[in-house]
A and B are shown apart, each in its own frame.
Chain A
Amino acid sequence: MIHTLLRLPFRYSPFSGEETRQLFLLSALPINFWYILVWLRSFGAIVEESGLWEALGVGAYMLIFSLAEVVLIFFLVFYSSHLINAFPKLRRSQHRLSLVGMLYLVVAGILILEQSRHMFELPTDGPLWEFINRANNLVASSPIIILFIGLLVFAGFVIAVYRSTRIKGLIAATLDKLALLSSLYLSLNVISLIIVIYRNLFP
């Protein structure tokens, strides 16, 4: 069924089976990372207020929600990857994966940075934030800013991947390691699922 879903509505998949798995793991990495961080930030308060089991329960549910988000975002990224077929020089699927993977991580990084501002109450002065605030005033919506930055980064990476074999190799190796790290987070998703099932069977 997953295979069928991945094929639809396109005739050809842009990635091999192994690369698809790698892309899924990459999609999961920033999402799970941030969910876990947010959970840990409130862990102490929940333990103090309601106990350890409640705090674990909240974490388990959060990781279930994160898994749902991972699946959704993965399909979005996967289908978006078909657009890259429009670039004739990216014939090798590994190149396509490098491009999509890095682009995805950069966008996720920007979104995490945006949330970090609130979490760590980061100062919002300096040239970067000045630029963002100015752009924000211009278009009055932060998602548009993020899209704008994303497009700039996209253009930069397209040029880099087109021109440098070394960059391509470096990116591929990095993505490989990150995918491995992500599989560790995914094991937490599995544990969370078990906790959630248990809590609903034995409330």
Chain B
Amino acid sequence: MDFNHSVRSYLNRREFLKLGSLFLLAQNLPSVFSRPAKVAAENDLPNILIILFDTFSATNISLHGYPRETTPHLARIADKAIVYHNHFAGGSWTYPGTNSLLTGSYPWSHRGFYSGRDIVSPYLENNLFSLLDDHHRLAYTHNPKVERVLSQFEDSIDHYEPRHSLYIDNQSWLSKLFGRDFETAALAWERSIKKGETGYTGSIFLSEPYNAAQQARYLQYLEDFPKGPPRILQDEYFLLSDAIDWTQLQTQLMPQPYLAYIHLLPPHAQYTPHRQFIGAFDDVDYEPTKKPRHFMHNKAKEKTLIEWRTAYDEYILNVDHEFGRLYDYLEAKGVLENTWVIMTSDHGEMFERGISGHRQPTFHQPIIRIPLMVLEPGNPTRRDIFSPTVGVDLLPTLLHLSGRPIPNHLEGIVLPPFASGIELVDRAIYAADAQKNKPLQPLTEATTMIVRWPYKLVYYLGYPELPDGKPVFELFDLENDPEELQNIYAPGSNPSDELTEELLQRMREKDQPYA
């Protein structure tokens, strides 16, 4: 990857951000005195800024009806945005979800189920970055898994910002020494000295003092973050506010038109919000609907799920606050005048049915329903879209909006309200997850889904957890039973049979090249 370390080689993270702010101030002084700042594009193409919050479930967003008010800022921004109320992810966790969003294709097509580097042709070559090559393309992520996904498209990314660069410990010495092979060196360093979740390291003498020193270093953050600052691995800490500051800076520094894909980790576990958001829902009388334990449960106890849900909601409040801060900045700087701003996620999170997190291969609404909000440049009017949409729609939509041709193999459609003449009501939406299935073999251990509004059919096959070892179908009526309490699957009647046939037929088609 093209790791650009030239500036940070001599500055630490905070110095870099401070210097950046000063540079911005100096750059904007003339406009402060003459006229409101407005970013001028070199051609007519607007910029595209995609902000993706990892593991952001629409179920827990008050804008979409959640009883706790988790997103006051999203609610205010929604007044000037297009809000998609029934938006789905392509998969239930990072690899399939992100790969689908970036390639405009479903996981059973791109086959990026597990390792993050599995995508097959033609999806590999035709991705968000390669198809929008008339933009300056920037990508950043906190998440090492997403870094692996993005590395597949490295040839099409003009500026890849290494994930460690916005970490509290940005390992600049490592990038100075091994900048051209940083990813591998960083992984080796992690295995060598950092006491991760495994508890053991390569170094027998130095890991203990190193980790003790790191812990001591992070103590200073405990005042603002009583649960510790946000982290991805055992000791890779970062601050969401730093990433938002950095994003603001990039909107001013990038050549235009730009396409920026910023994939931020929060509200992914661990749920460690800023102090001001902890306890925000203590006074809110809310009790989630009790649901029976699902056969794919991961032994999560009810009490734990309730506690984690609250922590997650508080973390969403933190995310909402930071997104609100970014929005205010973009508005004040005039960036919204010529930039498509898209806020979405790769998958959701689950706190029910004995399932915590998002690695259990189910497609319940908290996992698969995610937010999508689009801010159209220069058109601050609210529009609410209730038709079902999916992550694979984003790429064709952006191509359409940029006047680029849409390759035939893309499986998404142009999102409403930008499309004309497309009937969305009867549209089928899919998702697939096959974490343990060999990517280039037919699906034998997988979960797949079809949504044909208002019905959602989920198909589980090949898992050892399945009752009696037989495949299981679940059918829900999302309009009348949004909590998915009643499995109405009934073989021999419709819509069960129609949806089953349609889903199985689609799976056969997608498996055919690997049969």
- Chain A residues within 8 Å of B, Cβ to Cβ: 30-31, 34-35, 38-39, 42, 46, 48-50, 54, 57-62, 65-66, 69, 72-73, 108, 111-112, 115-119, 142-143, 196, 199-201, 203
Contact = CB atoms under 8 A, between A and B. Distances in A.
A65 B204 CA distance: 12
B464 to A, nearest CB: 20
B200 A119 contact: yes
A92 B201 CA distance: 37
A14 to B, nearest CB: 21
Given A57-B184, A61-B185, A196-B178, A142 B208 contact: yes
Contact of B204 (A34, A62, A200, A201): A34
A35 B192 contact: yes
Contacts of A119: 198-200
Nearest to A38: B202
17 contacts: A30-B204, A38-B201, A38-B202, A48-B115, A50-B117, A58-B184, A58-B187, A58-B188, A61-B189, A62-B188, A62-B202, A72-B206, A108-B204, A143-B209, A199-B184, A200-B178, A200-B180
B181 A199 contact: yes
Contact of B200 (A31, A59, A115, A142): A115
Contacts of A117: 199
A66 B191 contact: no
B203 A203 contact: no
Contact of A42 (B117, B185, B189, B191): B191
Interface string B348-390: 0000000000000000000000000000000000000000000
A118 B202 contact: no
Nearest to A146: B208
Interface of B: 115-117, 148, 178, 180-181, 184-185, 187-189, 191-193, 198-206, 208-209
Contacts of B206: 69, 72
Contacts of B198: 118-119
The list of the 10 closest CB pairs from A to B, nearest first, reads A118-B199, A61-B188, A35-B202, A111-B204, A118-B200, A57-B184, A38-B202, A203-B180, A115-B200, A65-B192
Contact of A203 (B181, B188, B199, B204): B181
A62 B199 CA distance: 17
A66 B192 contact: yes
A5 to B, nearest CB: 19
Nearest to A202: B180
Contacts of B204: 30-31, 34, 108, 111-112, 115
A62 B178 contact: no
B233 to A, nearest CB: 14
Contacts of B199: 115, 117-119
Nearest to A76: B205
A38 B181 contact: no
B181 A57 contact: yes
Contacts of A34: 202-204
Contacts of B191: 38-39, 42, 58, 62
Given A54-B184, A119-B200, A49 B116 contact: yes
Nearest to A121: B199
Contacts of A48: 115
